[in-house]
Structure 1
Amino acid sequence: MSPRPPSAPPRLAGYEFEKLLGSGGFADVFLYRQARPQRRVAIKVLLSTVLDESVRRQFDAEANVMAQMSTHPSIVTIHQAEVSGDHRPYIVMEYCSRPNYGVRFRKERITVAEALRVGVQIAGAVETAHRAGILHRDIKPANILVTDYNRPALTDFGISIVAGQGNDVEDSQGMSIPWSPPEFFTDPPRADVRSDVFSLAATVHSLLAGQTPFERRGQRNTASDLIHRISSEPLPPLQRPDVPAELSRALSVAMAKDPAGRYDTALAFGRALQQVELSLSLPVTQMDVLDERGSTAPHHGEDDELDAHTRIRKVATVDPETGTRPGSKRRLDPYAGVAPALAPSAGGYQPSASAPSTSAVSAASASAASASGASASESTLLRPAGALPSAASPPPAPADGAEDEERTGTPAWPFVTLAAVLVIVLGVGATLGVRHFLIPEPEERATTDINVVADPAANPDPPRDIELQVIAPDGGPGEPGKVRVSWQIPDTLGEDDFFRVQWAELPSNYQEFAAPKDVYGQYSTVIDIPPQQAKLCVTVQTLNRNGGASQVVEKCLNGG
């Protein structure tokens, strides 16, 4: 069978369709041109064939969560969410034209500096989501887009949940196995902020390794193989000589099997990556965190240098009459995006290391004015390059050798040019020598074509050894009982395979119980028991996103 063809793009008032950007399990993403204001936007449209109410709820929740988070500079901006004329929900998002990191990490060698920069910036986005009470649960390279300003932007909050519901993730759909933490595959699965820390670290690891963390080249890499390695095998070391030991240690801590051994927060992991940047003498990447709780994370004295590179902004409110900040109203920071030197210190902003304070600027200006004898306004006036000095300014002193040049008539520039050429030649020769003798040639990686229709996929193998366990025979008046359905994963399960669980042969008036339930990355689920039925049988089938389907395996209650 061939992959699912994309759906027809909906006709949307004020938008002109341009092309298909991509397809997923439940939605397509199209490129449109918006008429007013004129811009190109990406529009994610839910498939009209999706009848599962839980998927529709997740789609609506994604729009609400991303709208709440999209003011962050490293989260994709949401413009609008509506329902089309043919009754398909859609989300209008910022269009990121550059290739995402899911495309890039397998096709090119990403530098250590870029991987660290992306990790720090996305850590700020994840920390912001956590402080708002949201777990992402699907952080991976493909969900990190790149804006036109070459800044990473996190997207796809489709399976995010409220942080307090981390022990109730039975209905998870669409999680990506290669970057998922071990607790996602326990029975029952669990999730908390440290689960997102694991996935973010696995993403940084993938950018550096050119493959997923537990993938083995030349070996079988099915979903069951990956789940086994993630749950029980140690993290393989990065085979790159330019990756420092400090970075390998940070990734190992963030990807510990036991959540208690990981960094407690995404902020702490981002700080660890900033520390690696310091040790490599790289520019320390700014990490932005929006804190709606009115308090910042505690830190120790040794973190003071990194504090200068971490903006933790509070949501400030100001009474227009008194100038105070009552707790009953809240609005976004009016100084967001303004240079830190101009933002009020009472608002809780921390200026970056490169931005001097207002008082320091004033003192420096006054000092410069007094030293040159110019007025205060003269000392702060900006002039274009080559502008003439003021009349009060003394003429510039002649450069060294200028008097000799005027006296002898021999220009000095030929000798300066010759010296510069010699320096360049020696520098290029030394660089080529170091690269040839000391740095090994990078391993050539096989690449895959983009937007090429995949070969027809073979039907997957069916699940084995289905078990039914009634965990609530009667849920009470008006509430059905519940049964846990579990099975053994087939050995040939592919990475894109999932399972479909459904009651068999129910009467037509039992539509509420007849809807199928798709299960991703797990081998058990809980479903409601239809009441007043003498014979009840459950079917389980293996499917994949290319349209392949295994034989249906049936198991009945009461030994049927």
Structure 2
Amino acid sequence: MSSRPPSAPPRLAGYEYEKLLGSGGFADVFLYRQARPQRRVAIKVLLSTVLDESVRHQFDSEANVMAQMSTHPSIVTIHQAEVSGDHRPYIVMEYCSRPNYGVRFRKERITVAEALRVGVQIAGAVETAHRAGILHRDIKPANILVTDYNRPALTDFGISIAAGQGEDVEDSQGMSIPWSPPEFFADPPRADVRSDVFSLAASVYSLLAGQTPFERRGQRNTATDLIQRIASEPLPPLNRPDVPPELNRALSIAMAKDPAGRYDTALAFGRALQQVELSLSLPVTQMDVLDDRGAAPAHDGEVDELTEHTRIRKVATVDPETGTSPGGRRRVDPYAGVAPALGAAPAAAGPASWSGASAPSAADASESTMLRPAGAPAGSVGRAPLASEHQEPDPERPRTPAWPFVTLAAVLVILLGVGATLGVRHFFVEEEEPPPTSPINIADDPEDPPGAPRSVELQVVAPEQEGGRTGRVKVAWELPENFAQEDHFIVQWQDLPANYDRYAVQHEVHGRNSVVIEIPPQLAERCLTVRTVNPNGQSSEAEEKCLNG
């Protein structure tokens, strides 16, 4: 949540304000109750102080993209987008009341089964967005919400771009460094569908590790440190005993440094996670992909105008047991150079011996899901007995039912167990001493405030013009020595006249070290400050820089 005070919730016809849900750099999210139909909704409202037209355009684009995608079961639903009476754009969204995964992965141990389920379902959402020509560019645990039906839902398409614009991503505003692929930090930065695959895999890794992929406990984890590790250091394998080698291999492929070494699509990554589910004998999660490339219906062998402008949208349910189209041949493992294939086990081992790069044959898959009685040999279930194995019961000896003996034995065992437990507790177990109490309300040692920004520079990018058009200046600085990934910056003009409220606002900057702001006009000297703020609200010393003339 942002350290700035939240804006006042707007009055919206048909909605009743309840509470603040969160704040970001340019918008606040409030909980409202809708009157008709009655339901609780989350409403994202752009700040009235945001004057940057690019931000407003980005806000409108987010509404349009999410509305286009929100029919998918794993993408947050958009209900409405409008402008309030006080001229603030807002988006009415589905309210997800459960904690998002950005909160959960830091506080609790998430099971492998849940992480795989989330990865598969969000992979279907990302694949659907890619097929519609949209790159998300900011996939991270905090952007995976949880619906009331405990289903993950992807949100925040605020910095998404068209897939064809991947070579022009200079605007890195809002980029989340810990989950970003190396190509985001290249010169020039670039992005394609494999960039989203990297971020999705990094999110799944975080759910299982309890920290971001390249975070190092006990070491510096500044933005600069993380970028250097993302670009050059290998991905540490998850060392949880319940994480199988197949999952570590799938994550290594999806997070390869070179995009050419990754899975080509989110669909392929989701299928790899499904294969891990099979190897662990877990229920296979369905991956829903909305495919709008179906053939148009023909009308009596003719194509009319309506047919030409109609597409049949179908949901393609991905089969985890095949990695190719029906009738196609299996490919040789294309990722052997990125993550070596795991050693193959005998066929009787079932799906636990999968390498994660090739699926078992139909016969193997069928054999692996049969239920056998304990001690039965493989292949003995599901077939008729051989003649040599067939035995008839002796007709002259009546069969005595076994259930009375089994019941009696069970009752005796239970009575003996209860009696032994009570005896041991009475004669041998000493009464436990109450646990020692710990003092409360003892203040923690105060943290050191964040370091101040360094080498603040001002560059006029648009000079003032006659007719009232204000100029614009780019403010840039170097990161402080102890900068952490959760810190952000506040940029603000100082000592402005009373009627300059428009220019006196604080500009919050997250994930970057520059910002373009408007220049207060008709002043002899204009000075601004830049300071660092950590999540606890502690602020550094302000670094001042003046723009003369």
- Superposition TM-score tier, normalisation by shorter sequence: 0.5 to 0.7
1:159-198 to structure 2, matched below 5 A, reads: 159-198=159-198
How far does residue 177 in structure 1 lie from its aligned partner after superposition?
1.8
Gaps of 5+ in 1: 295-313, 337-348, 355-400, 402-406, 426-453, 474-479
How far does residue 200 in structure 1 lie from its aligned partner after superposition?
0.6
- Equivalent residue for 2:487? 497
- Equivalent residue for 1:552? 543
1:144-543 to structure 2, matched below 5 A, reads: 144-292=144-292, 294=293, 314=294, 317-318=296-297, 328-330=308-310, 333=313, 414-415=404-405, 417=407, 460-465=450-455, 487-499=477-489, 520-523=510-513, 542=532
CA displacement, residues 83-125 of structure 1 (integer Å, 9 cap, x when unaligned): 1122221111111222221122122211111111111111111
Gaps of 5+ in 2: 322-392, 416-443, 464-469
Amino acid at match of 2:252: S
- Equivalent residue for 2:90? 90
Contact 2:11 2:85 (C-alpha < 8 Å) held by counterparts: yes
CA distance in 2 between partners of 1:424 and 1:64 (Å): 65
How far does residue 535 in structure 1 lie from its aligned partner after superposition?
11
- Equivalent residue for 1:384? none
CA distance in 2 between partners of 1:482 and 1:86 (Å): 25
CA displacement, residues 266-293 of structure 1 (integer Å, 9 cap, x when unaligned): 112112212212222222221111233x
Amino acid at match of 1:190: R
How far does residue 221 in structure 1 lie from its aligned partner after superposition?
2.6
CA displacement, residues 278-321 of structure 1 (integer Å, 9 cap, x when unaligned): 222222221111233x2xxxxxxxxxxxxxxxxxxx4x654678
- Equivalent residue for 2:133? 133
Amino acid at match of 2:487: D
CA distance in 1 between partners of 2:194 and 2:111 (Å): 26
CA distance in 2 between partners of 1:285 and 1:82 (Å): 36
Taking a change above 3 Å as real, the CA distance of residues 256 and 528 of structure 1, as seen in their structure-2 partners, is farther
CA distance in 2 between partners of 1:351 and 1:487 (Å): 48
CA distance in 2 between partners of 1:7 and 1:466 (Å): 29
Contact 2:275 2:320 (C-alpha < 8 Å) held by counterparts: no
CA distance in 1 between partners of 2:459 and 2:117 (Å): 48
CA displacement, residues 35-93 of structure 1 (integer Å, 9 cap, x when unaligned): 22222211112222322222222111111110010111111111111111222211111
Bigger CA drift: 324-333 or 462-471?
462-471
Contact 1:170 1:188 (C-alpha < 8 Å) held by counterparts: yes
- Equivalent residue for 1:62? 62
Higher RCO (CA < 8 A, seq sep 6+):
1
Query: What's the secondary structure of 1:106's corresponding residue?
Result: helix
Taking a change above 3 Å as real, the CA distance of residues 498 and 18 of structure 1, as seen in their structure-2 partners, is closer
CA distance in 1 between partners of 2:246 and 2:311 (Å): 40
Contact 2:489 2:531 (C-alpha < 8 Å) held by counterparts: yes
Amino acid at match of 2:140: K
- Equivalent residue for 1:436? none
CA distance in 2 between partners of 1:87 and 1:243 (Å): 51
CA distance in 2 between partners of 1:495 and 1:262 (Å): 26
- Equivalent residue for 1:3? 3
Identity within the alignment, %: 76
- Equivalent residue for 1:368? none
Contact 2:43 2:91 (C-alpha < 8 Å) held by counterparts: yes
CA distance in 2 between partners of 1:86 and 1:119 (Å): 40
CA displacement, residues 482-515 of structure 1 (integer Å, 9 cap, x when unaligned): 9997653221213233457799999xxxx99999
CA distance in 2 between partners of 1:91 and 1:491 (Å): 38
- Equivalent residue for 2:123? 123
Amino acid at match of 2:225: D
How far does residue 544 in structure 1 lie from its aligned partner after superposition?
5.7
Taking a change above 3 Å as real, the CA distance of residues 32 and 486 of structure 1, as seen in their structure-2 partners, is closer
Contact 1:159 1:174 (C-alpha < 8 Å) held by counterparts: yes
- Equivalent residue for 1:297? none
CA distance in 2 between partners of 1:327 and 1:553 (Å): 64
How far does residue 328 in structure 1 lie from its aligned partner after superposition?
2.5
Contact 1:461 1:551 (C-alpha < 8 Å) held by counterparts: no
CA distance in 2 between partners of 1:423 and 1:245 (Å): 42
CA distance in 1 between partners of 2:149 and 2:291 (Å): 25
- Equivalent residue for 2:101? 101
How far does residue 541 in structure 1 lie from its aligned partner after superposition?
5.4
Taking a change above 3 Å as real, the CA distance of residues 116 and 424 of structure 1, as seen in their structure-2 partners, is farther
Taking a change above 3 Å as real, the CA distance of residues 48 and 487 of structure 1, as seen in their structure-2 partners, is closer
How far does residue 324 in structure 1 lie from its aligned partner after superposition?
6.7
CA distance in 2 between partners of 1:513 and 1:19 (Å): 29
How far does residue 543 in structure 1 lie from its aligned partner after superposition?
5.3
Taking a change above 3 Å as real, the CA distance of residues 421 and 97 of structure 1, as seen in their structure-2 partners, is farther
Contact 2:527 2:544 (C-alpha < 8 Å) held by counterparts: no
Taking a change above 3 Å as real, the CA distance of residues 465 and 282 of structure 1, as seen in their structure-2 partners, is same
CA distance in 2 between partners of 1:189 and 1:112 (Å): 33
How far does residue 191 in structure 1 lie from its aligned partner after superposition?
2.0
Taking a change above 3 Å as real, the CA distance of residues 534 and 25 of structure 1, as seen in their structure-2 partners, is closer
Contact 2:453 2:530 (C-alpha < 8 Å) held by counterparts: yes
Taking a change above 3 Å as real, the CA distance of residues 182 and 540 of structure 1, as seen in their structure-2 partners, is farther
CA distance in 2 between partners of 1:324 and 1:112 (Å): 50
- Work out the number of aligned pairs and report it: 442
How far does residue 516 in structure 1 lie from its aligned partner after superposition?
9.3
Q: TM-score, normalised by structure 2?
A: 0.67
Contact 1:58 1:159 (C-alpha < 8 Å) held by counterparts: yes
Query: What's the secondary structure of 1:236's corresponding residue?
Result: coil
Amino acid at match of 1:14: G
Contact 2:529 2:542 (C-alpha < 8 Å) held by counterparts: no
CA distance in 1 between partners of 2:414 and 2:251 (Å): 39
How far does residue 351 in structure 1 lie from its aligned partner after superposition?
8.6
CA displacement, residues 118-141 of structure 1 (integer Å, 9 cap, x when unaligned): 111111111111121111111111
Amino acid at match of 1:551: A
CA displacement, residues 456-503 of structure 1 (integer Å, 9 cap, x when unaligned): 997643333467899999xxxxxx999997653221213233457799
Taking a change above 3 Å as real, the CA distance of residues 501 and 275 of structure 1, as seen in their structure-2 partners, is same
Contact 1:170 1:525 (C-alpha < 8 Å) held by counterparts: no
CA distance in 2 between partners of 1:456 and 1:48 (Å): 35
- Equivalent residue for 1:372? none
Query: What's the secondary structure of 2:58's corresponding residue?
Result: helix
